Amino acid sequence: MASRKPLVRDSGGVRQMAAGDAIKLLGPLNQVASGSLTSASGIADLSTVNADTVKLQQSGASISQLGNMPVGTRRRLFISNAVTLAYSSTYIRTPGNADLVLNPGAYVDVEVLSNAGQWYVMGGMTATGTALVGSDSTKLPLAGGKMTGALNFASPVTLADSATPAIGAAASNNIVLNGTTTITGFDTIAAGATRLVKFAAARTLQYQATSFILPGAANITTAAGDMALFRSLGSGYWECVFYQRADGTPLVSAAQRSGRNLLINPLFNVNQRAYTSGAATTAANQYTYDRWKVPTSGQSVSLSGVIATVPAGGLTQIIEGTNLEPGTNTYCVSWTGTATCQVNGTTVANGGTFSAAYGGSVTVTFASGTLSLPKVEVGASATPFYNRSYDEELTAARRYARAVAVRNVTGQLYSATAARFDYIMDTPMRSAPAVSTTMTTSGSFSGDAIGSGQALFTTMSSPQTTVTSVNFDYTGATGSYTANQRIVALDSYFLDAEL
């Protein structure tokens, strides 16, 4: 049988082996039964218990020392009654460097790691199976928690010009970016990381749908002093969650955030024809509110605020082909209400699409229900409704029709009984308009001859019209007038260039 080296008992009563010696067990290693210990004067001297597992019996005690034992000694302490291990940098080191309150049923593993009397708490578990050490009031947990003071970031870090600045690797959350090179993205860092970036000069941020997401889904041209907050999406992908221009102007206007509405007067508030809500039309395709016509004679449209009730025969607007986008494109139609919609005679659902080519007009008809906020825009999906100003809607409507009020047309007498009138338009109309007249004096065309009072005429000549002007003659005046006198028309006119 191989020789055996005996274990040597040292002066402390512990059996030791020489360095390099090995021991081979020929059977199981059975530890002695657990021992019990009650502390005295705050000291639970583990060296007095001849067992690796020790039951602490005292109740409500505060233990400040665990006794002197050689480095490497390990013990498992089972808690019989509530007890506190008092933190000390000299004797008992605990996770979080704070007192450790232990309740019955818990256990804790301790080990001597440095000098003979300094024990470290290595781990353990409560009686319910939860972590032995709860939250440290001096530290935030990995999830949740509330700070009681300010979080102060490192001073801003300035990065050199680059197409892909490494803001993730920078040693601060605050970054200053120098240079003018177009930026196509940033470096890789864990998802959720944020960086506040200040731009030192004008440069382009190049929008990417997935890897470099920017407000407005478009490129941004920076200016010196602009600020932006970027958030990492992981894998080198970033999104800009906030952008502030140095001059305070918005990055994307309300109009840009919403697609351009090709329908004019969608709120029905431009009413140059003075149509009365609910009044039955007297002819087919009679216009009511500006740009909107009722195809079926005898039907009407009623308006309550911005909500129209449209008839079974429909309420129609024709979109001029020159208002479409160049080429052939997809357009989306949307509205609020119960009305149905047809585009060029084909039914389109709310939020549905149709295709149209530049130059060809598009006929949009809503029928049989309520209608508000109608919109036709380029693209495959609807965007929020954007309300243009009344002046913008009126200007757009006057391309197709315009009311000319009393005293807005001037002329000159070219004989004692005849005058010529001219009206020059401030903006061109779609085409040379048809002209209708409303007489101020029943049965007579009238004007105010400067210095001679009202002049009444029997006849109005056929107007001569272009997209920018209208001129016509009044003849058959009665009274004493002089050639070359200035005269102002006292009648009103309506110019119609609708599609």
DSSP string, 320-364: PGGGSPSSEEEEEEEEESS-EEEETTEE--TT-EEEEETTS-EEE
- 352-407 pLDDT, tens digit each: 999 999 999 999 999 999 999 999 999 888 888 989 999 999 999 999 999 999 99
- 401-458 pLDDT, tens digit each: 999 999 999 999 999 999 999 999 999 999 999 999 999 998 899 999 988 889 999 9
- 38-97 pLDDT, tens digit each: 876 788 889 899 889 999 887 777 898 998 999 989 999 998 888 888 998 889 998 878
Percent of the chain with pLDDT over 90: 64
Distance, in Å, from the CA atom of 246 to the CA atom of 283, rounded to the nearest integer, reads 58
Q: Which pLDDT score is estimated for 389?
A: 94
For residues 3-21, average pLDDT: 53
Whether 334 and 266 have beta carbons less than 8 Å apart is answered as no
> Of all helices (H) and strands (E), which one includes residue 53?
strand 53-56
Distance, in Å, from the CA atom of 350 to the CA atom of 426, rounded to the nearest integer, reads 38
For residues 336-356, average pLDDT: 97
Place of tokens 């308009």: 433
- The identity of residue 373, as a single letter, is L
| 499 CB-near residues (< 8 Å, 6+ apart) | 318, 320, 361, 400, 430
Between residues 386 and 212, which one has the greater pLDDT? Answer: 212
Nearest to 467 by CA among 424, 405, 438, 436: 424
Distance, in Å, from the CA atom of 182 to the CA atom of 214, rounded to the nearest integer, reads 14
What the chain holds in terms of domains, given with CATH numbers, is 35-125 (2.60.120), 157-252 (2.60.120), 286-393 (no CATH), 401-496 (no CATH)
Long-range contacts of range 257-260, CB-CB < 8 Å, 24 or more positions apart?
Answer: 257/216, 257/383, 257/384, 257/386, 258/383, 258/384, 258/385, 258/386, 259/332, 259/375, 259/377, 259/378, 259/379, 259/383, 260/377, 260/378
Mean pLDDT of the chain: 89
Between residues 15 and 287, which one has the greater pLDDT? Answer: 287
Place of tokens 């005295």: 40
- Sign of the alpha-carbon torsion through 361, 366, 372, 375: negative
Residue 313 DSSP one-character state:
T
- 486-496 pLDDT, tens digit each: 999 999 999 99
- At residue 422, what are phi and psi to the nearest 5 degrees? -135, 140
Name the burial class of residue 1, with classes exposed (0-12), middle (13-18) and buried (19+) by CB atoms within 10 angstroms of its CB. exposed
Whether 433 and 481 have beta carbons less than 8 Å apart is answered as no
- Across 317-329, b (16+ Cβ under 10 Å) vs e yields bbbbeebbbeeeb
| 190 CB-near residues (< 8 Å, 6+ apart) | 232, 234
Name the burial class of residue 437, with classes exposed (0-12), middle (13-18) and buried (19+) by CB atoms within 10 angstroms of its CB. middle
- Sign of the alpha-carbon torsion through 312, 313, 315, 317: positive
Give all strands of the β-sheet with 328-336 in edge-to-edge order: 302-304, 307-310, 369-378, 328-336, 353-357
